[in-house]
């Protein structure tokens, strides 16, 4: 944030100021989904809310954090900034634009301004507007999907004792929209306290705390309107398939267990994992077989049975299709145990 046109003062961490902010945030909990000045769009609160997909590793690194009060008549300077700028609005409305796209950030909302993109205020604040801001460094977002298009349960390849490089993954944070500000306030305040009294020994703690904030933002997406039931059923379907691996696959039994039609469960699971029920079951079977091949001395036939394969030939064929190795070859190549 531009400190030359906003008020950022250390006494904001005082108990009096803290109680003032808590009262503001408490009022957000009672607020309806519409405000007196604007109607919330689907993008800001529902299945079409855009998310930023940040590649990891490495983890995002916090550069600075602050709390600012914008007085009526002031607006953000225009600039190209070489860091991400995250804004959490506590009260009032901050009017920002990025590459020509305009955002009115109201109380209880956030916006992520992306590194390297021109941004600035397109309109002056009409009332006293209080915001938290965080600058952090990271690679550009890989993509900006609507949150309904993300499959949070998509499995990644499990790690073995042969791995020497970290697995590739992603962090997802909202680009713009509502957040649970009362839940984030303790983290934001702690980040401020740490930054104001930063020492060499506590610099790592600041980075860890920032990681917790990003994790909170990512977790919050699962409770956004329009996805709660689908998420719940997708997770339930995945859990059902995991606990029933040793049993023959039966869609009718799955329907009875989860009390929904199989087609609907399949769609929910697909959205959650990116896989159909049978594909996800095969994935779980092969990953369990890999673990047993490396960690147990059971025969290949017994391992196949423990993974739900009654036909050893089918087990070997499916395993080789997935790994390019037969079960026996996989065990000989990767097991660290020798007899």
The whole-number pLDDT of residue 105 equals: 96
Decide: 221 and 258 in contact? Cβ < 8 Å. no
CA separation for the pair 87, 113 (Å, rounded): 8
Within a domain: 68: yes
Q: Same domain, yes or no, for 232 and 287?
A: yes
Question: For residue 36, what pLDDT is reported?
Answer: 36
Pair (242, 123) in one structural domain: no
Contact 233, 148 (CB under 8 A): no
β-strands 176-178, 109-113 pairing? antiparallel
Q: Are 76 and 94 in contact (CB under 8 A)?
A: yes
Same domain, 39 and 84: yes
| CA 226 to chain CA mean position, Å | 17
What is the distance between the alpha carbons of residues 231 and 311, in angstroms, rounded to a whole number? 34
Does residue 215 form part of some domain?
yes
Q: Are residues 13 and 100 in the same domain?
A: yes
Count of domains observed in the chain? 2
β-strand partners of 113 = 85
Q: Which has the closest alpha carbon to 300: 324, 326, 337, 275?
A: 326
- Boundary residue ending a domain (162, 190, 223): 223
Q: What is the mean pLDDT of residues 85-104?
A: 96
Q: What is the pLDDT of residues 105-129, one digit of tens each?
A: 999 999 999 999 999 999 999 999 9
Do both 218 and 233 map to the same domain? no
The answer, yes or no, to whether residue 178 has pLDDT greater than 70, is: yes
Let me know whether 277 and 183 are in one domain: no
Q: Indicate the pLDDT class of residue 99, thresholds 50, 70 and 90.
A: very high
Q: What is the mean pLDDT of residues 148-172?
A: 74
Examine the domain organization and report whether 168 and 238 are in the same domain: no
Same domain membership, residue 58 and residue 130: yes
Percent of the chain with pLDDT over 70: 78
Whether residues 152 and 279 fall in one domain: no
Q: Are residues 185 and 277 in the same domain?
A: no
Domain span at residue 308?
228-334
Can you tell me the mean pLDDT for 131-150?
Answer: 88
Q: Are residues 187 and 318 in the same domain?
A: no
Digit-coded pLDDT (tens) for 20-44? 555 555 555 555 344 433 333 434 4
What is the pLDDT averaged over residues 155-160? 67
* Burial of 32: CB neighbours in 10 Å, binned 0-12, 13-18, 19+: exposed
Shared domain for 101 and 209, answered yes or no, is yes
Percent of residues, the chain, with pLDDT higher than 90: 60
Write out pLDDT tens, residues 227-243.
568 878 998 999 999 99
SS3 96: strand
pLDDT for 18: 55
* Minimum mean pLDDT range among 27-36, 93-102, 145-154, 193-202: 27-36
List pLDDT tens digits, range 261-314: 999 999 999 988 889 999 999 999 999 999 899 888 899 999 999 999 989 999
More confident residue, 169 or 17: 169
Return mean pLDDT, the chain: 83
**What per-residue confidence (pLDDT) applies to 45?**
42
Q: Evaluate whether 309 touches 249 at the Cβ level (below 8 Å).
A: no
What pLDDT score does 3 carry? 40
The CATH code of the domain that includes 97 is 2.60.120.10
Average pLDDT of the residues in 174-201: 90
- From the centroid of its chain, how far is CA 109? 17
Which two structure tokens, joined as six digits, stand for 107? Answer: 């109380």
Please report whether residue 51 resides in a domain: yes
Q: Tokens 């990025």 identify what position?
A: 98
For CA atoms 214, 218, 109, 122, the dihedral sign is positive
List, for residues 309-331, the tens digit of each pLDDT value. 989 999 999 999 999 999 999 99
């Amino acid at each position: 944030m531009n400190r030359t046109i906003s008020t950022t003062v250390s006494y904001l961490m005082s108990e009096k100021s803290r109680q003032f902010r808590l009262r503001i945030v408490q009022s957000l909990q009672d607020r309806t989904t519409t405000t007196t000045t604007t109607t919330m769009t689907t993008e800001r609160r529902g299945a079409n809310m855009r998310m930023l997909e940040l590649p990891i590793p490495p983890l995002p690194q916090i550069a600075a954090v602050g709390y600012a009060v914008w007085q009526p008549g002031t607006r953000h300077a225009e600039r190209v900034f070489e860091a991400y700028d995250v804004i959490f609005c506590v009260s009032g409305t901050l009017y920002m634009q990025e590459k020509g796209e305009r955002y009115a950030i109201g109380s209880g909302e956030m916006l992520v301004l992306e590194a390297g993109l021109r941004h600035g205020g397109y309109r002056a604040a009409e009332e006293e507007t209080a915001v938290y801001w965080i600058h952090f460094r990271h690679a550009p977002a890989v993509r900006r999907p609507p949150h309904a298009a993300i499959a949070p349960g998509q499995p990644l390849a499990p790690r073995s004792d042969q791995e020497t490089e970290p697995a590739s993954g992603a962090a997802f944070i909202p680009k713009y929209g509502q957040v649970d500000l009362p839940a984030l306030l303790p983290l934001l305040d702690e980040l401020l306290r740490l930054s104001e009294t930063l020492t060499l020994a506590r610099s790592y703690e600041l980075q860890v705390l920032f990681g917790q904030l990003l994790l909170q933002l990512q977790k919050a997406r699962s409770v956004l309107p329009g996805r709660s039931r689908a998420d719940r059923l997708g997770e339930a379907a995945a859990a059902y398939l995991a606990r029933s691996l040793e049993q023959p696959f039966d869609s009718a039994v799955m329907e009875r267990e989860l009390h929904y039609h199989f087609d609907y469960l399949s769609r929910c699971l697909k959205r959650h994992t990116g896989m159909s029920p049978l594909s996800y079951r095969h994935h779980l079977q092969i990953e369990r077989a890999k673990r047993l091949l490396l960690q147990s001395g059971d025969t290949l036939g017994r391992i196949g049975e423990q993974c739900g394969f009654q036909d050893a030939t089918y087990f070997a064929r499916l395993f080789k299709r997935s790994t390019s190795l037969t079960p026996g070859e996989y065990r000989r190549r990767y097991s660290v145990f020798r007899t």
